[in-house]
Structure 1
Amino acid sequence: MRILHTADWHIGQTVNGWTREVEHRAFLQTLSDLVAAQAVDALIVAGDVFDGINPSAEAMQLLYESLLAMRERRPTLTTIMVAGNHDPAGRLEAPAALLRTIGVHSVGIMHSQGGSIDLDRHLVPLRDESGNIRVFGLAIPYLRCADLPALQQTEDEPGSPIVRATRELYAKAYAAARTHAGLIPLVATGHLHCTGTQESEGAERRILVGGEHAVPHDIFPTDLAYVALGHLHRPQQVARRNVRYSGSPFPLSATELPYEHGVSLIELHDGAVQCEHVRLPRTVPCIRVPETGGVTSRALSETLTQLAFDPDCPVESRPFLHVVVEPDGPAAGLIAEVDQILAEYPVRCASIKIERPQSSEEAGPSPVMMNLTECDPMDLFERAFTETHGVTPEPEHKAAFDQLRVEV
């Protein structure tokens, strides 16, 4: 039994106003090729199919066309697609009846029946080429407040009630699924953050309800043959080799440039599980300039010229550049200056970060923690402005901030 585990597609994402449609189309074509070439029996999409809760008609069309194309190339393919924290859960489920005609089981929220998990919605039989059920998929989407069982914190039960509620939900779902599945292996999904993992700074929201950020990996029963996770964009296993994040298909932020983006190919045979990370090619280059450290605006043109970008490259396929600038003077107007330089090259600006070298005076002991209620908002604004731009705010900046405070 072969399962292809993927997640965090973020269809519809833009970077600094630039579309990523070329990359998404190329990824979904590569995914279709993998399904056919590897004779995949089941595809699991572990959340964040879309980038936002109001995807465009073009984004939805791309999704449905891709799911249909994969089914046509592999007529026995079953797909489990669950909602992530970015997804419009209801909209993902709305065409469920139609999607099932092409073997796609879409789950946006938790469903119950008679006080128990609705197995008709959450337990999906995964069949081999001969039509025999070899595995059951337990489809659990991103868990919202309404999905979790009500638990009260008591002195005898330390720790987070949210984590305990998440653990209880998985335990009950597993128990119901195991009763139905008998000895047939179970594969579960999840869209959350597990402890002991590496996250992408600035790319992934801290999503667990109740203020909690992560759950321990042992919330997943050890009898599960495999746990397909989404939310963290770096491909990685979580303590146990059969609990994995597949990662996103390509870099979604500057932090993710070093990642080996791809999908996870899972093979189950006689109770044994083999996991292989399949690295995917990058259709559009995503480049940090310079590779390390920062570059001055004076040296930026020379650096870009040495990279020898293709002048005939179509706009929608031009490289994304994340530029880190090291100011050699006042930083006011520096971003506009860098933008003007980049406009002379066949590239697309993804981000510009101003980074000042740390002085010996700055590299002292850590600052004392402050109570924000005791701070003047204008002082905080001036500090943040100076750290970001390298210069103190002008009177017009302060006036604009004051106006915002009045409006709020």
Structure 2
Amino acid sequence: MIRLLHTADWHLGASLQGWPREAEHRAALAQLIALAKTRDVDAVIVAGDVFDSLNPSAEAQRLLYDTLRDLRAACPRATIVLLAGNHDPAGRLEAPRALFELAGVHSVGVMARREGALDLDAHLLAIRDASGEISAHLFAVPYPRAADLPIAGEDVAGSAVVWGARALYREAVEAARARIGNAPLVLTGHLHVAGGLESEGAERRILIGGEHAAPPDIFPEDVAYVALGHLHRPQKVGRESIRYSGALIPMSRTEIGYSHGATIVEIGARGFVSADHVPFERSVTHLRIPAQGALDMAEIEKALAALAIDPQTPDAARPFAHLAVQIDGPAPGLKSEIDSLCERFPIRLVSLAVERPQRAEAPQAALTRLAERKPLDLFREAFEATHGVAPAEEHLRCFHRLAEEE
């Protein structure tokens, strides 16, 4: 029996509306290291998006190296694998490979080939159990770039990109089986698999530079486990042994309700046994205000006061607030007014959703040519459609002044 710790989507160096998140990351990574030690894992798989950007800051890189050092100290014998995701600078993850190897860390940024065939020495890694015996193997596949995929012929039906991804994984498994036989095999991937639930505003459907999602059957049935990255919600896709571990911390308003953490996977001689997602405690609270619906402007101050947050709370520990307000009519200066109000409370406002009452749609007018309409009438209609009320005299004066300048 071997035990894996599957994690992904660390997004080191990320911020929320300019607020740094290093303290959150350090707290979550400390829990990850403690989990790896407590469960005595045989391997740690980081399935992509280690960094949040292609040009990570020095602080983000330092945090990665600190984490790898502490992880190795906590798990002296574990196989540790870093994979590049679509956010990662693949070359920068591979550049320190010689130093990583001294620490027993394997970093895979791109697909490597030798004489046209996949380089098994770069991608196929042994996983040893507590006795030192090789009990499984890992084929490390990073985010697949266009150059990594086999080229589909003209007779291929459907998406050539999905066909290429399927062919890549088939080639990887066949090459691995030629070397390891029927031993348990673990695959990795950083891509969007059809059926996975996305986070609005935080993720997009990716395979290669576009809106592609691969079906879960691109992963052969005889694979013991598939450790995925990219989607931030922990979930299985297709079958129990194909899973996203999810992100370490919430990356957007839509992720407040997720159970962020890491996944512990057990694999026996005959393949997949179990997967247990372990949630982490958040070091910083994320609040949706209100929990449902939206507040009127007059209700915001009372709602913030009701939170009863200690005003002496350090900046780095103050809750992130996602505020929803309901506005009926034009609201010039709304953001400034809300910012000024929130500054009086120990919170960090990171998103503002403005909702307007739904109005019954007017009967659709007969189509007319634009040349037959007066500019002032168009302005009145557009203003009322946007703000829910007719333009005031000051708005009309501004319109006339701009029209004269034109």
TM-score norm. by structure 1 comes to 0.88
Cα distance between partner residues in 2 of 1:359 and 1:385: 15
Cα distance between partner residues in 1 of 2:383 and 2:20: 29
Say whether residues 1:140 and 2:141 are aligned partners: yes
CA deviation after TM superposition for structure 1 residue 183, in Å: 2.5
Cα deviations by residue, 1:360-407 (Å, 9 ceiling, x for unpaired):
338x99xxxxxxxxxxxxxxx9999988877889969x99xxxxxxxx
| SS of 2:223 mapped into structure 1 | coil
1:186 maps to 185
- Asked if 1 retains the 8 angstrom alpha-carbon contact of 2:125 and 2:137, the reply is yes
Greater Cα offset, 93-102 or 3-12: 93-102
How has the CA–CA distance of structure 1 residues 361 and 22 changed in structure 2, closer, same or farther, with 3 Å as cutoff?
same
How has the CA–CA distance of structure 1 residues 308 and 40 changed in structure 2, closer, same or farther, with 3 Å as cutoff?
same
2:66 maps to 65
CA deviation after TM superposition for structure 1 residue 152, in Å: 2.7
Cα distance between partner residues in 1 of 2:85 and 2:230: 7
1:222 maps to 221
Q: How does 1:85-234 map to 2 (within 5 A)?
A: 85-154=86-155, 157-209=156-208, 211-234=210-233
How has the CA–CA distance of structure 1 residues 186 and 98 changed in structure 2, closer, same or farther, with 3 Å as cutoff?
same
* Deviation >4 Å, runs of 4+: 381-396
Q: How does 1:384-395 map to 2 (within 5 A)?
A: none
1:285 maps to 285
How has the CA–CA distance of structure 1 residues 104 and 388 changed in structure 2, closer, same or farther, with 3 Å as cutoff?
farther
Cα distance between partner residues in 2 of 1:87 and 1:348: 28
The structure having more radius of gyration, on CA atoms, is 2
1:83 maps to 84
Unaligned runs of 5+ in 2: 365-378
Q: Which amino acid aligns with 1:266?
A: V
- Asked if 2 retains the 8 angstrom alpha-carbon contact of 1:296 and 1:328, the reply is no
Q: Which amino acid aligns with 1:231?
A: H
Say whether residues 1:260 and 2:239 are aligned partners: no
How many residues are treated as equivalent by the alignment?
381
- Asked if 1 retains the 8 angstrom alpha-carbon contact of 2:198 and 2:204, the reply is no
- Asked if 1 retains the 8 angstrom alpha-carbon contact of 2:329 and 2:387, the reply is no
Cα distance between partner residues in 1 of 2:383 and 2:223: 50
Q: Which amino acid aligns with 2:100?
A: L
% same residue = 51
How large is the RMSD of aligned CA atoms in angstroms? 2.5
| SS of 2:103 mapped into structure 1 | coil
2:318 maps to 318
How has the CA–CA distance of structure 1 residues 203 and 210 changed in structure 2, closer, same or farther, with 3 Å as cutoff?
closer
Cα deviations by residue, 1:240-292 (Å, 9 ceiling, x for unpaired):
00000011112100011111112110011232421111111111001111111
Unaligned runs of 5+ in 1: 366-380, 400-408
How has the CA–CA distance of structure 1 residues 382 and 45 changed in structure 2, closer, same or farther, with 3 Å as cutoff?
farther
Cα deviations by residue, 1:61-113 (Å, 9 ceiling, x for unpaired):
11011111111121102111100000000001111111122221110111100
CA deviation after TM superposition for structure 1 residue 329, in Å: 3.9
1:35 maps to 36
Cα distance between partner residues in 2 of 1:233 and 1:90: 24
CA deviation after TM superposition for structure 1 residue 302, in Å: 0.2
Cα deviations by residue, 1:132-157 (Å, 9 ceiling, x for unpaired):
11111110000111111112332xx3
